[in-house]
Structure 1
Amino acid sequence: MTSLDWLLPPLLGSILLCLLLVPLGYQVIARGVLFADLAIAQWASLGALAGRYLGWDPALAGAPVSSLGLALLAAGAVHWTLRLPGATREAAIGVLYVVGASLAVLVVSGDPHGAQVLHRAVSGDLLWAEWPVLSALSVLALLMALLSWRRRGWSAGAGFLPVFALAVTYSVALAGLYVVFATLIITPWVQGRLQGRGPALAMAAALAGHAGGLGLSVLADVPAGPAVVVTTLVAALAMWFPARRRA
């Protein structure tokens, strides 16, 4: 093994995250509920924290059952809010997120190391990706590709949110809240909404951002999650400005 072999799991994790989340991000933006994904991810993170302090919380392919359960619960709540008028819907999603974040703080409040636990939940630890979660993400990415091939309109139906909650749960377990939100929204918004381009270019920008963030984290010894968020935005804008100047 070479000295850089340990980078293979986080690089594979980044590829899987981009393959899985960027297409989902297009649908989130199309539905006009940009912060619904953040709310569901927050409740998935809350479930992982609650499972940590329950003392007994079996894992399903690397993700705590409590995380899966609360993510699906949040997806059900988001499904209900989609029936509400625009302003009321956004308010309800905001409340869902804030309550989830506040409960997370309360869960770790009795732990002397609670601040570090909470920080890891939102920032993630992509550099130390674990194989069970990578395997689960591989299966999810393959299943979603097959679903998109066999039933092209599936993401516009009621089945989208449960699949989304499952994908977000494993993504949060791998990379944390910040990276999941950035991968879902930044490049689909810049390449999709602003430029009208399809997922392939957005995925390329997301992959470049992830690779740059991991490299920055290793070279500068900074947290991988925030580094990936910043470099993903830089990569998206770097691909946007030349196209805008040519337009």
Structure 2
Amino acid sequence: MDAQILWPALAAGLLVLATHVPLGREVLARGIIFLDLAVAQVAGLGLIVAAALGFGGGSWQLQLIAVSGALLAAVVLNWSEKRWPEVQEALIGTLFVLAASAGILLLSHNPHGAEEMKTLLSGQLLWVTPDQLGPTAVLTLALLGVWFGLRRQLGRIGFYLLFAVSITASVQLVGVYLVFASLIIPALAVRRLQGRRALGIGYGVGVCGVVLGLMVSLKFDLPAGPAVVWLLALTAAVVALLLDRGKRVRNP
């Protein structure tokens, strides 16, 4: 039973990491740390709106509403970065709070609203089904192809739009918290590295965090999403310390 639960959860975590590790490095380089949190929350708000309108999970209407919300947020944030770059982080934070508050208001009369909000934030990684993985894998390959093949041609708006699509897919699998953690934590661990080495170690941090987090979750019967977030952070901390120590040894 553990293996039947574990492999779809592991596959989902790895698919999320595939796009989040390179995108997270770009977010960190641009200094827009909370972009992912805001866009993920807007995508989650789209899911809440779609559910309130009666569209079930997996329906094309639900996906359209969720991705439309995220793309609209991306367009607005791209515009605000050009118009008011000095307060971009503040605007991103404001968008996050507005989207989160709107979700709470929409769920306030839903008898299962608290549980739905908890699921949106922390995800249900251990309950990912194989049916969810196929479309996500195709989308992930397409996004990676665009990112690594056309990154220089994307420009700022292209980055925002690609980011929004990636986040919309990810938040449905792993929740808002793990979306943020998988983007930012590996990037923080390798922030002083460059090129393929940074990308490779970043992926290593992410994979170790996901695997160890799922193992801890199953062993101690804990929620998978928060467990993976913590193990990602611990793994990243160890790797960052080892990298700093290695740098000091080479450059005493």
**TM-score (normalizing by structure 2):** 0.90
CA deviation after TM superposition for structure 1 residue 155, in Å: 4.9
CA deviation after TM superposition for structure 1 residue 33, in Å: 0.8
Q: In 2, distance between residues paired with 1:100 and 1:148?
A: 27
SS of 1:112's equivalent? coil
Corresponding residue of 2:146: 147
SS of 2:157's equivalent? coil
Residue ranges of structure 2 left out of the alignment (5+ in a row): none
Q: In 2, distance between residues paired with 1:157 and 1:176?
A: 26
CA deviation after TM superposition for structure 1 residue 148, in Å: 3.8
Q: In 1, distance between residues paired with 2:119 and 2:9?
A: 16
Q: Is the 8 A contact 1:45 1:172 kept in 2?
A: yes
Corresponding residue of 2:31: 32
1:116-154 CA-to-partner distances (Å, cap 9, x unmatched) read 110110000011113343222211221133224432414
Corresponding residue of 1:223: 223
> More displaced, 126-135 or 34-43?
126-135
Corresponding residue of 2:125: 126
Count of aligned residue pairs for this structure pair:
245
1:10-63 CA-to-partner distances (Å, cap 9, x unmatched) read 111111111111111111112211111111000001111111111136845796
Q: In 1, distance between residues paired with 2:99 and 2:20?
A: 22
Q: In 2, distance between residues paired with 1:170 and 1:238?
A: 29
Q: Counterparts in 2 of 1:1-247, with a 5 A limit?
A: 4-56=3-55, 59=58, 64-191=63-190, 193-196=191-194, 197-246=197-246, 247=248
CA deviation after TM superposition for structure 1 residue 175, in Å: 0.4
Structure number having the greater helix percentage: 2
Residue ranges of structure 1 left out of the alignment (5+ in a row): none
SS of 1:222's equivalent? coil
1:136-179 CA-to-partner distances (Å, cap 9, x unmatched) read 22112211332244324145442111111111001000000000
> More displaced, 165-174 or 73-82?
73-82
Distance 1:79 1:114, change over 3 A: same
Root mean square deviation, CA, Å: 2.0
One-letter amino acid of the counterpart of residue 141, structure 2: L
Distance 1:231 1:63, change over 3 A: farther
Q: In 1, distance between residues paired with 2:233 and 2:153?
A: 29
One-letter amino acid of the counterpart of residue 207, structure 1: V
Q: Is the 8 A contact 1:27 1:156 kept in 2?
A: no
Q: Is the 8 A contact 2:51 2:62 kept in 1?
A: no
CA deviation after TM superposition for structure 1 residue 239, in Å: 1.1
CA deviation after TM superposition for structure 1 residue 190, in Å: 1.7
**TM-score (normalizing by structure 1):** 0.91
SS of 2:111's equivalent? coil
